[in-house]
Every structure is written in C-alpha cells, then in structure tokens.
Structure 1
Amino acid sequence: MAIDYTTNLGRVRLLAADTDEANLLLNDPQIEAFLAMEGSVKLAAAQALDTIASSEALVSKVIKTQDISTDGVKVAAELRARATELRRQVNEGDGDDSVGFDVVDFDPWTGYLGYVP
C-alpha cells in the first residue's frame, strides 16, 4: 500500500525518511504509538529517528571488510541530529502541527470603569 502523506502517520514517515515502501523501518503501530506518546507529528518523527538511530548503532556498529566499510555510529549521530532539529522547531513554534491552548485568568470586572480589586 502506498504511503498517504496527508495523514499524520505518513507525515511522520516522511520526516523520518522511512519512505521505502518495500523496506519500511517502522511499522504503522509503532508510528501510531509515537504519535500517541508525543502528541505531534514532528515530535513523533524525532522519536522515530532516535529509535532508528539506536537500532543502527546496535546493529551496524563500525564494520570493515576488505574494501567496504560501514559506520553505524556516524549514521546514528546524523539521525539524532535530525531528531534534535525537529525538537528545536517544535520548541520555537516553527510550524508544528500540535494543537494546544493556554489558560488565562479572566476577571470581567478588572479594569472595568476604573474598578480594581
């Protein structure tokens, strides 16, 4: 099935670069769990990237054979840097999708006709 990028699940996949439909790194229930835990697409994607980074570091490590080498630690560092950037964007309010509200004190009489309690 094609990834639907109009859904939050698809958006998390896009931000986490988990878009190879034949070889997805995370399954839908895992991403749905990140969305439930984090409450926003960008934070869920950051958590997904951290999870992928941990897996990469554990599985790939640093491997050298003949003329081929891989460095899972460097790949993991790049993934974590991307996760950090997504969290920074959320903290600075750069286009996050989360919905929130602020609670403010309201007193209809304060300042009305010069009344100050």
Structure 2
Amino acid sequence: MMTATYVQGTDIATIRLYGSDTNLLSPIFSDEELLSFLTIEGDVRLAAAAALERMASDKTLLAKVRAVGDISLDGISLAKQLMANAANLRDIVEKNGAYAAIGFADIYMEDVI
C-alpha cells in the first residue's frame, strides 16, 4: 500500500510543501513517488519541481490538483502555473547551488498554488 505522510523536518514534507501537495486527505503523490523524484533529482527542491512538472503534464493529476485545491483555473492555465512554479524552484537551485539554504521569501507566493 502506498503511503502519504507530512512529518515536518523530513524530505518528504519539504517536497510536499514546495510541490503544493500538503492535503493528506487527497494527496497527489505517495511518499514512495516523492522519494523516487528525490532519488532521480538529488535535491528536495528539484524533486518538488519534478513533481510539479509531472502534475502539469498529466491530465488526471491536473484534475486532481484542481479538485483538491478548489481551483478555478482551466487546465491549460493551471499547467502553465505549475510549470512556472517548477521553473522557479529549478532557477533557485541553479543560482544558489543544490545545498544552499532557501527561505520562502525566495519563492513568489502568488505563484504557489
């Protein structure tokens, strides 16, 4: 069985936070999927970016994001916003290095779903 947790201070929680997947009543990704993104990307912000990109590229996940977030954006606009959020995370890592500290001031909150 796939699990979905949100324990502060863990990589999974950080990925969920950056990736706008914090509603555990209806998670977009399982912990195992997020760990796979982390294994592939090697950084929690890059893993969150990969999760956002995956959401944006999958119609089923887009529908789930819209339902969970009660979002009124159409699918194309939502996908563009998710991709912009992912690009922002990737830019932060590129500019600051993979292991640089990041604060929420570095992410444009109006871009976070």
Specify if TM > 0.5: yes
Q: Per the alignment, do residues 86 and 59 of structure 1 end up closer, same or farther by CA in structure 2, a change over 3 Å counting?
A: closer
Q: State the match for 1:49 in structure 2.
A: 52
- CA apart distance, 1:71: 1.1
SS at 1:24's partner residue? Answer: coil
Identity of aligned residues (%): 34
Q: Specify the code of the residue in structure 1 equivalent to 2:77.
A: K
Bigger strand share: 1
Q: Quick one: structure 1 residues 87 and 59, their matched pair in 2 at CA, closer, same or farther if it must change by over 3 Å? A: closer
CA distance in 2, matches of 1:30, 1:18: 12
| Cα displacement (A) at 1:59 | 5.8
- Give the equivalent residue in structure 2 for 1:97: 99
* Structure 1: tracts of 5 or more residues without a match: 61-68, 99-117
Given that residues 34 and 51 in structure 2 are in contact (C-alpha distance below 8 angstroms), is that contact kept between their aligned partners in structure 1?
Answer: yes
Q: Aligned residue pairs: how many?
A: 89
TM-score (norm 1): 0.67
Kindly name which structure, 1 or 2, has the bigger radius of gyration based on alpha carbons.
Answer: 1
Which whole-Å CA distance do the structure 2 matches of 1:3 and 1:92 have between them?
Answer: 28
Aligned positions of 1:43-82 closer than 5 A: 43-56=46-59, 60=63, 71-82=74-85
- Counterpart of 1:79, as a letter, is L
Moved over 6 A (4+): none
Per the normalisation by structure 2, the TM-score is 0.70
SS of corresponding position for 1:92: helix
Q: Distance in 1 between matches of 2:58 and 2:41?
A: 20
Deviation of 1:5 (Å): 2.3
Unaligned stretches of 5+ residues in structure 2: 64-71, 101-113
